[in-house]
Structure 1
Amino acid sequence: MLLISDKRVNYASKLLGLQCLFIATTFVLPLIVADDPSNFSWLVGFLVFLPASYGALIYLYCRTAITGSPLKSTDFLHALPLLICYSLNYDILLSPEKALSFVQMPETTLIRHSITKIVFYGQALFYSVLLLRMLSRYQAQAKQTLSSYNPDIFRWLWSLVAFTVSIWTLKVAFYFLNLSSAVNTLADLLLVLMVYFIAIIQWRNPSLFHIKQLTEQLEQQEPPQAQEPSRGLLDLEMRSNILQLVQEQVKKEALYRNSELTLSTLAEKVGVSVHQLSETLNQYGGKNFNQFINEYRVAEVCQRLDQKSEQKLIDLAMDAGFSSKSSFNAIFKKVTGRTPSQYRCQ
């Protein structure tokens, strides 16, 4: 309810709130079954198939958390696994007695129940693969085109994916390999820990997972057929000239101090195409755009510290173009081999 009603939280948080609600509601199922006969028996048919929506909700949450974009009309296709389960078992939805019998029976041989099982567990595998591909793509895109973003974004989301895959692996192993009920209980505990832990973080820091410039950069990408081959089309002399021009421009105008600097905006300032700049940095300079710009930022902070600056480290970092304390600390140590505090002391 906090995630859904709090005005501070973003669109992704409301999706996460819905996910929490579904999971909490699902855990009511064993209580209803144990209390047979119950006034809530009519809910059993709806609750037993509700986990078929978990994969889609986590996928949509991760996507909207990173890009900040709302759902599209085509996203309702992600409700198909749940709708298929409901459609194949409409009789269970309409009859509390049949629903209770269904959840209490050890196994079934009906074809529609077998199809339900395939859809129910298959969606978990399908969305796990989608999640892995999506996060890998967005992370690579951020590294290639954005000069600054909070690396904690992807640490949290990769942790979420790891939890999701682990939970469904335990569920599938329990169901198909007839393992101890302790395996199923462990999966349920991981599910509760995962969602509510992430939910609390999202509630306290709604912008934690959002990369403001990423959506814009994805929209500006040229279609695959327009991209240059991996070996590049520029000769060594051309790459050298472009790199020298970029270095002069970045240093002279201190462009790195802009925390929202992107590959496309730098390419526009220098007067080359996005692909020419990307190819030059990657294949001639030996680093991606993110690394290239952050080295200038670290160099400026080091210079200020060498001059015995009394400013706070976080103020030096922000002046140099870093967008967060965590990204500054991580990048500074990666470049210099020391933390900012250690560098200042030494």
Structure 2
Amino acid sequence: MIRFGPMSITLLLCAGQGIVLAGLLLRARRNRAANRWLALLILAVAALITPFIIGYAGFYDRWPRLSFAPFSLTLAFGPLVYLYTLSLVDAPPARVWPHFMPVLVQFLADALVFPFPLETKNWWNTVAHSPLISPVFEAGTIVSLGLYGLAAWRRYRGYRRWLDDNRTDGVDVDPSWIRNFLIALMVVAVIWLGFIIAKRIDPGRDYFDQFLLYVTFSALVLYLGIAGWRHAETAFPHVSRARVPEVAAGVEKGRDWVVQGQEWVRMIDSGAHWRNPELTLAVLARALGTNTAYLSRALGAASGENFNTLINRRRVAEVQRLLAAGDARDLMALAFEAGFNSKASFNRAFADLAGMSPSAWRLKSRKSPAI
């Protein structure tokens, strides 16, 4: 008898909402490649939940021939996590299909057995699927998630460093969502591993004992869908798009990078390059007649600061100077004049470098020394 109870309805509502959100992600105009990968990940997790939705409702009792329906595509999780992260911050690899060869094998392992009579499927499950194939796919999924998750985390960490080394508006494109996305997935992977181990220790556990695991998957579907949709239109600068042809800057061997950096800092100050709200490391390198690699190395050697801190320090100092001189204009007018291009980047930089908010500094500007 088919009957949707609290278990099946709970999972169905979450999976259904995830499918709707995946559809919205597929229609997003910005970050199209990344949003497609995320939508596919949500759909793959929803597919994993589906056998338990219909199982708790009694479908398998009524129609046991549904066994081996190819709902489990867990070996796609790792590649989709990595490709989503990579597509948000950089260009994805030209060839992505090799990443999905394992999940194709996983799909075929069920799809080829599905049409057979129930007796044959039960025999295959006894002699091969349960004792050998299923454990291999479970272990492969956890290993795949770990390796791809680590690769995605390295991409995220590298991207944060790249923002600090190349841009001054990193707070406007804060990639914390990527960090939270990866942490959420790793937490779910650890919980999943715990259930797998528990099942191996106690083979008598049935699919009702797995309910909390699939509630966790359902929560993941909702989180990925809702938070992913919130960030679907965020314009993350792409590392690959920011690369420009490097200009020869002389012979590197024997160069005194501190002296060179001091000279470029002097040129930055004399030319007030920091006033340019669109300033990036590449733009500054072109203005100074060098390349980004040499400029980044020299500025670090001379100042001990990355590009973001060096430029924003000058902008904050200019706002402080104007406030100390009694300039009564709106704080954002002063921020824009100093080169900031958003309220978020201004407030974050000012708090980090001055130790207080711009409004608090204005109240104490006559007593507070410039940074």
- Matched with 1:153 is 174
User: 2:325 maps to what in 1?
Assistant: 307
Task: State the partner residue of 1:65.
Answer: 88
Percent identity for Structure 1 against Structure 2: 22
| Native 8 Å contact 2:70 2:111 kept in 1 | no
1:21 maps onto 2:50 in alignment: no
For residue 287 of structure 1, report the CA deviation from its aligned partner: 0.8
Which residue number corresponds to residue 234 of structure 1? 255
Q: Tell me the distance in 2 between the aligned counterparts of 1:101 and 1:323.
A: 65
1:253 & 1:333 partners in 2: Cα distance? 26
Which residue of 78, 84, 100 maps to 1:55? 78
The answer (yes or no) to whether the contact 1:143–1:290 under 8 Å persists in 2 is: yes
How far the C-alpha of 1:159 sits from its partner, in A, is: 0.9
1:58-97 CA distance string (max 9 Å, x none): 2211221223x4x554112221231131244443344484
Provide the residue aligned with 2:346 in structure 1: 328
CA drift of 1:2 comes to 1.9
The alignment status of 1:342 with 2:360, answered yes or no, reads: yes
Give per-residue Cα distances to partners, 1:177-233, cap 9 Å, x unaligned.
349747524632541343023223124xx025x115x223457589xxxx97xxx95
Which amino acid letter does the alignment assign opposite residue 80 of structure 1? M
* Structure-1 residue corresponding to 2:103: 82
Residue pair 1:239, 1:280 contacting (<8 A) in 2 also: yes
Root-mean-square deviation (Å): 3.5
Q: State the Cα distance separating 1:336 from its structure 2 match.
A: 0.3
Name 2:17's counterpart in structure 1: none
Could you tell me how far 1:26 is from its partner in structure 2? 3.1
Out of 220, 224, 232, which is 1:191 matched to?
220
Residue type at the aligned position of 1:200? W
Indicate how the Cα distance of structure 1 residues 2 and 276 shifts in structure 2: closer, same or farther if over 3 A, else same.
closer
Amino acid at match of 2:234: S
Q: 2:169 aligned with 1:169, yes or no? A: no
Task: Note if contact 1:152-1:326 (Cα within 8 Å) is conserved in structure 2.
Answer: no
Q: Which residue of 1 aligns with 2:240?
A: 215
TM-score by length of structure 1 reads 0.80
Q: Which one has the largest radius of gyration?
A: 2
Counterpart CA distance in 2 for 1:100 and 1:220 is 60
Give the alignment partner of residue 4 of structure 1, picking from 13, 26, 40.
Answer: 26
CA shift for structure 1 position 254: 2.3
Tell me what 1:202 maps to: 231
TM-score (norm 2): 0.75
**Unaligned runs of at least 5 residues, structure 2:** 1-22, 202-208, 365-371
Q: Displacement of 1:321 after TM fit?
A: 2.9
| Alignment pair present for 1:35 and 2:59 | yes
Going from structure 1 to structure 2, the CA distance change for 1:165 and 1:284 (only over 3 Å counts) comes to same
Using the TM superposition, give the Cα deviation of residue 256 of structure 1 relative to its aligned residue in structure 2, in angstroms: 1.5
Q: CA separation of 1:93/1:329 partners in 2, compared to 1, >3 Å: closer, same or farther?
A: farther
Residue 297 of structure 2 corresponds to 279
**Distance in 1, Cα, partners of 2:68 & 2:342:** 47
Residues 294-313 of structure 1, C-alpha deviations (whole Å, 9 max, x = no match): 11121222223333444443
Contact 1:168 1:187 in 2 (8 A): no
Distance 1:112 1:23, change over 3 A: closer
Partner of 1:92: 113
The residue that corresponds to 1:127 in the other structure is 148
- Structure 1 contact 297–322 (Cα < 8 Å) conserved: yes
Q: Which amino acid aligns with 1:247?
A: V
CA distance in structure 2 between the aligned counterparts of 1:319 and 1:16, rounded to whole angstroms: 39
2:275/2:338 contact within 8 Å kept: yes
How many residue pairs match? The answer is 328
Say if 1:81 and 1:120, in contact at 8 Å, map to a contact too: no
Aligned to 2:205: none
Partners of 1:345 and 1:94 lie apart in 2 by 76
Q: Are the counterparts in 2 of residues 26 and 47 from structure 1 also a CA contact under 8 Å?
A: yes
2:69 partner SS? helix
Aligned runs of 1:226-265 on 2, under 5 Å?
233-235=254-256, 239-240=258-259, 242-265=260-283
- Amino acid of the residue matched to residue 168 of structure 2? S
- Output the amino acid matched with 1:284: A
- Could you tell me whether the CA contact under 8 Å between 1:93 and 1:99 is conserved in 2? no
> CA offset at residue 40 of structure 1?
11
